[in-house]
Amino acid sequence: MHDKTVAELSRDLARGKVSSVELTQHFLDRIQEQDGRLKTFITVSAEQAMADAREADKRRKAGNATPWTGIPFAHKDIFCTEGVRTTCGSKMLENFVPPYNATVTQHFRDAGAVCVGKTNMDEFAMGSSTESSYFGATTNPWGSNRVPGGSSGGSAAAVAAQLVPAATATDTGGSIRQPAAMCGVTGLKPTYGRVSRYGMIAFASSLDQGGTLARSAEDNAMMLNVMAGFDPKDSTSVDREVPDYTATLKEPLKGLSIGLPREYFTDQLSPAMGKVIREAIREYEALGATVKDISLPHANLAIAAYYVIAPAEASANLARFDGVRYGYRCQDPKDLLDLYTRTRAEGFGSEVKRRIMVGTYALSAGYYDAYYLKAQKVRRLIQQDFIEAFKEVDVIMSPTTPSPAFVQGEKTSDPVTMYLEDIFTISTNLAGLPAMSLPAGLVNGLPVGLQIIGNYFSEARLLNAAHQFQQATHWHRLTPGH
């Protein structure tokens, strides 16, 4: 059962070939057997999952099921779940149990899906390897000493190891697409504002976006059908009609125009990685697409702009964790100042502290204009590059990452090298565009991801392009140890 996609499992449930109770127990057993070495989960909510599975089976018998009713899945541990702890991978929230559901969480509950637990992540989503989690690093199932990418590494690794068929995730600078690429699964970051951020613990409010991780583009489309939509509780949510993302998956690609940014295909890209990506693009040409060289002239400024804007917003968002209202509190503080300083010093990990310090500096008097304001101006130039590019092409393609999954511990001592892992993904967050990563091949036995970037609210087109590629190739069907 674990080797089937969400779409296949949904059909099996509809035909009565399997019950949600059987399916949920199967995945819970796999988690218990395998997750000790992988650490993809922070919390496994087995009792709640089985209760939800029994309720799902009743719902199916009553004839009011959705395609998701009874399907087991997992939430990234950044989405608030009523009655189930939500840690954000941090000591600061180790024992935090939300009294409410995030909008995304509620949407899946309303659809009848069965959440089996909360997946591991870089602390407060700050990282590219899922090594900064307070609960221990996640291991990529494709290699016992490899990282799964981050910050949604737990979700990607759980899907790759077939511990769940799908998992929610979030993307601030590449945190869905980068782990999708490194774990050989399919991940989608929607347009900023397409998915509600209510109840999704904030890292950088103008960049964060909830999204999807699953084996196939079809499964991602099914997830987005549940997640997308306007939410009056989120001021950044966009009030725009939501299409059925599965309806256009089978449309042919004849006439699709693909742009290849010169700035992403340079000597810095290894020959092996470049070969895989170009072979994938040739497959698109065989499917009827045309290819055109384009330019994103300000692409080289994206990382510098991002690592001013994101830490600045993080420093403001994380100010709420002070030991007064909720979360970790230091023992026996001498006074209020001691409570604040020791709580934050003890509750946050090193990467979170680093970004708070950078962000606070960038926002300080005398430096706000020099750093934060200038970074926002660069952001606008990057956005304008994409706007001009989409006047010429329908989608843009590139590598998702500069290399396959790297070795654990290889980059933890050099933050700048770690930040460069997001070199191909960050621009789309700065511009607020939708983008996805899909498996496109192997280098040294490790997965390589192809990134597809679309114009605003063109998720259906991206999913169609990914689905047609997956109908013609087998890369998304490969599993660790294939």
* C-alpha torsion 410→90→224→62, nearest 10: 130
The answer to whether the beta carbons of residues 124 and 100 sit under 8 Å apart is no
Query: Is 275 known to be catalytic?
Result: no
Cα separation, 79 vs 88, whole angstroms: 8
Nearest to 431 by CA among 385, 392, 373, 396: 385
- Euclidean distance between CA atoms 59 and 392, whole angstroms: 48
- Is 151 one of the catalytic residues? yes
Burial 34-73 (b: 16+ CB within 10 A, else e): ebeebbbbbbbbeebbbebbbebbebbeeeebbbbbbbbb
What span, in angstroms and rounded, lies between the C-alpha atoms of 198 and 185? 26
How many CB atoms lie under 10 A from the CB of residue 231?
A: 21
Which of 326-331's residues contact partners 24+ apart within 8 Å by CB, and which partners?
A: 326/96, 327/92, 327/93, 327/96, 328/91, 328/92, 328/93, 328/94, 328/95
The active-site residue, picked from 10, 20, 76, 315, is 76
Name the amino acid, one letter, at 238: V
Measured between alpha carbons, how far is 98 from 79 in angstroms, rounded to an integer? 10
**Sequence-ordered list of residues with C-beta below 8 angstroms from that of 295, at least 6 positions apart, any chain:** 261, 262, 263, 385, 389
Sheet order of strands, 257-261 included: 41-44, 114-119, 72-76, 166-171, 209-214, 186-189, 435-443, 446-454, 395-399, 257-261, 290-294
Whether the Cβ atoms of residue 53 and residue 70 lie closer than 8 Å to each other = yes
- Catalytic annotation present for 76: yes
Q: Where are the alpha helices (DSSP H) in 62-128?
A: 103-111
Report how far residue 88's alpha carbon sits from residue 82's, in angstroms, rounded to the nearest whole number. 15
Torsion (CA) 124, 217, 245, 88 in degrees, nearest 10:
-10
- Burial (Cβ within 10 Å: 0-12, 13-18, ≥19) of residue 167: buried
Instruction: Report in angstroms the alpha-carbon separations of 297 from 155, 266, 413, 422, 468.
Output: 33, 13, 31, 18, 30
Catalytic residue (choose from 151, 398, 437, 458): 151
20, 175, 427, 458: which one is catalytic? 175
The CA angle 209-434-463, to the nearest 5 degrees, is: 115
Q: Which two tokens stand for residue 297?
A: 């002239």
Length of the chain: 482
Active site residues: 76, 151, 175
